[in-house]
Structure 1
Amino acid sequence: MTKVEQALNEKVLELQDQIQEVIQGKNQAPDHNFHFTTDLAFTDEVRFEPLPKGFKMPTIEQYAGTTDLEDHLEAFKSLLFFQGASDAIMCRAFPSTLKGAARQWFSRLPPRSLSNFTDLGRAFLAHFMSSRVHKKTAANLLAIKQHPDESIRGFLTRFNKEALEVRNLDQMVKFQALRSCIRDVELKKSLIMDEPGDMYELFSRCEKYINLAKVLATEKEDKPEKKAQEKKDESVREAGSKRS
């Protein structure tokens, strides 16, 4: 065997060994870190807090990092508060409401960096702030006006819908906004001459005017029919008088 043939033979054997190593590598389980990351971000006090007897994780849509983070956080807090969950249990339960990018964010938090739900909530809000839905303010509410052709009921429905989108709305601000936005002259006179004491009284007054408007509208519709009937009756009486 010449030196060239021997060199080629050694090269072929070397390549065969490399191919065999690749084949064996494919059949082996990939190296993977199997440490659970569900609660490593919490301190030991939180991690080892025992679940209360009868505790059941409430059903809540998982958060992936794209929808309103404040709505998710508030919904979670309300459900866990209803069950009387402790601060530590709220911490341990919260990661199960995350998925996708939100789950990855949580798994990368520094170990033992969170000791309470307040810190967890702040970290969550800070990271996903770009997904926050901007809520309307009291200024938006004050800018609402009753349209000239809009009924009182229609306006109240629209006003209440807008008010629900204002976070932490002060009831006095809502009261003043509603009163100033009404265009109906008679109702506005009533509210100025006899100022309601609170929102309940204000809405009650508006409801009375809504009912009054219905009655007046019905009477207005009935008037032509009533006049036509009176005219018909009068014609019948005249015809009877002539025959007699």
Structure 2
Amino acid sequence: MATYDYRSSQGRSADPRIPPWFSRENEALRSSARTVASPFTDEILNALNPRRFSILLFILFDETTDPIDHIYHTQLKMALNINNDPLICKCFPTSLTGPALNWFKNLTQGSIASFQDLCDKFISQYYGNKLLAKDVLSLFTMKQHEDEWLQTFLIKFNLVKSMVMECHPSIAVQAFKLTMNRGTPFHTNLVLNTSKTIDELNKRADGFVCLEEEKATNARKTSIISTEDKSKAKIQQKQAPPQRQTSWKVEKRPREEELVTPLKVTLELEKASSDADH
């Protein structure tokens, strides 16, 4: 059986049947764990790793998210090697960054003998980041805004529901009906035929989400066409020949009676004047 000693300058397998690449890969993992004084015990550092194992890429923890969720994510990534306690211990630090990585480096040397020890210390350090479970009443305090899309509200509602530890399906459906906009097609559909579970409600909502998106698309198309028509009208107006401008003063046409010169003397006076001349 191959034996390893991380303090040995050789660091090689005593079994010639183990290929060199396997020895180099195990040595690389152990070296990465010994960059600083490791908090892991010698049993963890010297443990053999599975053949053809490559370090996985984890979501990095920067001490701003839920530590329990991070541990759960790590276990999911290590599903094939979940029972290999030393291996998951050596892989876990690769998921830390920033202040969280500094916290790990400052742990007491040799203080971690198992993954459970590591989890206990990790959760204790970042327990304040743990997402608190919500009460059922938090579902009833939600409200869909007048201009909020159905899909957006569904995502928000399902997120809050996922943080409620115990919630009967019928209560969740009732909460959704009371908090969504009333009078919408989907609300009317739920009133006429209530869903039994949130999963059923989400499936029924898919058709109404598509309908909502189609209406929004048609509205955008109509708006674009209207804008184009207005632009064309402006262009045509600019290209049209200018009309002859007339004076704002309209010349007043004289009336027919104004064209006749008025008599300045009467007929009697004119006859008298004629007799005097004779």
Please tell me the TM-score bracket, short chain as reference. 0.5 to 0.7
Deviation at 1:149, TM superposition (A): 4.3
Q: How do 1:205-244 and structure 2 match up within 5 A?
A: 205-209=204-208
Partner of 1:224: none
Q: How do 1:1-244 and structure 2 match up within 5 A?
A: 36=34, 40-60=38-58, 62-65=60-63, 67-70=64-67, 72-81=70-79, 86-130=84-128, 132=129, 134=131, 137-138=134-135, 139-150=137-148, 154-161=149-156, 163-164=158-159, 166-167=162-163, 172=169, 174-185=172-183, 187-209=186-208
* 1:166-192 Cα shifts (integer Å, max 9, x gaps): 546657364443233223336445424
Is the 8 Å Cα contact of residues 141 and 163 (structure 1) preserved in structure 2?
no
Q: Is the helix fraction higher in 1 or 2?
A: 1
| Aligned-partner SS, 2:56 | coil
* 1:97-134 Cα shifts (integer Å, max 9, x gaps): 3344333322332343323323312211221345x275
Is the 8 Å Cα contact of residues 85 and 114 (structure 2) preserved in structure 1?
yes
| Aligned-partner SS, 2:47 | coil
- In 2, distance between residues paired with 1:201 and 1:96? 40
Taking a change above 3 Å as real, the CA distance of residues 174 and 49 of structure 1, as seen in their structure-2 partners, is farther
Is the 8 Å Cα contact of residues 163 and 174 (structure 1) preserved in structure 2?
no
- In 2, distance between residues paired with 1:161 and 1:213? 17
Pick 1 or 2: higher relative contact order, CA cutoff 8 A, min separation 6: 1
Deviation at 1:147, TM superposition (A): 2.4
Q: What fraction of aligned residue pairs are identical, expressed as a percent?
A: 23
Taking a change above 3 Å as real, the CA distance of residues 38 and 54 of structure 1, as seen in their structure-2 partners, is farther
Taking a change above 3 Å as real, the CA distance of residues 82 and 155 of structure 1, as seen in their structure-2 partners, is farther
Is there any run of 5+ residues in structure 2 with no aligned partner, and where?
1-32, 219-278
**1:113 aligned partner, one-letter code:** S
Deviation at 1:143, TM superposition (A): 1.9
Is the 8 Å Cα contact of residues 39 and 110 (structure 2) preserved in structure 1?
yes
- In 2, distance between residues paired with 1:116 and 1:75? 18
Q: How many residues align?
A: 180
Deviation at 1:53, TM superposition (A): 1.0
Taking a change above 3 Å as real, the CA distance of residues 189 and 159 of structure 1, as seen in their structure-2 partners, is closer
- In 1, distance between residues paired with 2:214 and 2:70? 46
| Aligned-partner SS, 2:78 | helix
- In 1, distance between residues paired with 2:62 and 2:199? 40
- In 1, distance between residues paired with 2:130 and 2:157? 15
Is the 8 Å Cα contact of residues 150 and 209 (structure 2) preserved in structure 1?
no
Deviation at 1:68, TM superposition (A): 2.0
How large is the RMSD of aligned CA atoms in angstroms? 3.9
Is the 8 Å Cα contact of residues 91 and 116 (structure 1) preserved in structure 2?
yes
Deviation at 1:57, TM superposition (A): 0.8
Taking a change above 3 Å as real, the CA distance of residues 134 and 198 of structure 1, as seen in their structure-2 partners, is closer
Deviation at 1:201, TM superposition (A): 2.5
**1:119 aligned partner, one-letter code:** D
**Rg (Cα) greater in structure:** 2
Is the 8 Å Cα contact of residues 143 and 179 (structure 2) preserved in structure 1?
yes
**1:128 aligned partner, one-letter code:** Y
